[in-house]
Amino acid sequence: MDKLQLTPLAEVHRGMKALMAPFGGWEMPIQYEGIIAEHRACREGAALFDICHMGEFIFQGDIVADGLEDVFTFSVASIPIGRSRYGFLLNKNGGIIDDLIVFRLAQERVMIVVNAATAPKDFAVIKERLTGGTLSDITAATGKLDLQGPLSREVMNRFFAPAVAELPYFKFITTQVLGCEAIVSRTGYTGELGYEIFLPSDKVVELWELLLSDSRVKPAGLGARDLLRLEVGYSLYGNDLSEETTPLEAGLEAFVNFGKEFIGKEALLRQKESGPSRVKVSFRVGSRRSPRHDYDINSNGENAGIVTSGAFSPMLGCGIGLGFVRPELAAVGTPLTISHDKVSMEATVCNLPFYTGGSLRS
pTM of the entire predicted model: 0.97
Q: Tell me whether residue 33 is in a domain.
A: yes
- Which DSSP category does 166 fall into? T
Q: Which residues partner with 84 through β-bridges?
A: 103
Encode the chain (362 residues) as per-residue pLDDT tens digits. Answer: 479 999 999 999 999 999 999 999 999 999 999 999 999 999 999 999 999 999 999 999 999 999 999 999 999 999 999 999 999 999 999 999 999 999 999 999 999 999 999 999 999 999 999 999 999 999 999 999 999 999 999 999 999 989 998 999 999 999 999 999 999 999 999 999 999 999 999 999 999 999 999 999 999 999 999 999 999 999 999 999 999 999 999 999 999 999 999 999 999 999 999 999 999 999 999 999 999 999 999 999 999 999 999 999 999 999 999 999 999 999 999 999 999 999 999 999 999 999 999 999 88
Q: What pLDDT score does 1 carry? A: 47
217 and 345 in a common domain: no
Q: Tell me whether residue 240 is in a domain.
A: no
Q: Tell me whether residue 215 is in a domain.
A: yes
Distance (Å, whole) CA 228 – CA 225: 5
24 and 168 in a common domain: yes
192 and 68 in a common domain: no
Closest CA to 221 of 34, 9, 22: 34
Single residue among 73, 101, 135 that ends a domain in this structure: 135
The sheet carrying 5-6 orders its strands as 5-6, 26-31, 19-23
Q: Tell me whether residue 169 is in a domain.
A: yes
166 and 17 in a common domain: yes
Main-chain dihedrals φ then ψ at residue 46, nearest 5 degrees = -150, 135
Length of the chain: 362
Q: What pLDDT score does 209 carry? A: 98
- Which DSSP category does 45 fall into? S
40 and 156 in a common domain: yes
125 and 61 in a common domain: yes
Q: Tell me whether residue 242 is in a domain.
A: no
Q: Tell me whether residue 190 is in a domain.
A: yes
Single residue among 231, 263, 290 that ends a domain in this structure: 231
Closest CA to 131 of 228, 73, 61: 61
Handedness of CA 315, 317, 319, 324 (dihedral sign): negative
Single residue among 210, 231, 252 that ends a domain in this structure: 231
145 and 130 in a common domain: no
Specify the DSSP element, H or E, that contains 96: strand 96-106
Residue 288 structural domain: 277-350
Neighbours of 234 (CB within 10 A): 19
Instruction: Residue 287: give its domain's CATH number.
Output: 2.40.30.110
Q: Are strands 46-50 and 217-219 parallel, antiparallel or unpaired?
A: parallel
Closest CA to 261 of 43, 69, 94, 53: 69
Q: Tell me whether residue 361 is in a domain.
A: no
Distance (Å, whole) CA 204 – CA 146: 11
Q: Tell me whether residue 270 is in a domain.
A: no
Q: Please give the tally of structural domains in the chain.
A: 3
Instruction: Residue 91: give its domain's CATH number.
Output: 3.30.70.1400
96 and 29 in a common domain: no
207 and 62 in a common domain: no
168 and 98 in a common domain: no
199 and 120 in a common domain: no
Q: CB–CB of 320/353 below 8 Å?
A: no
Q: What pLDDT score does 128 carry? A: 98
146 and 120 in a common domain: no
Q: What pLDDT score does 87 carry? A: 98
Distance (Å, whole) CA 132 – CA 109: 13
Instruction: Residue 43: give its domain's CATH number.
Output: 3.30.1360.120
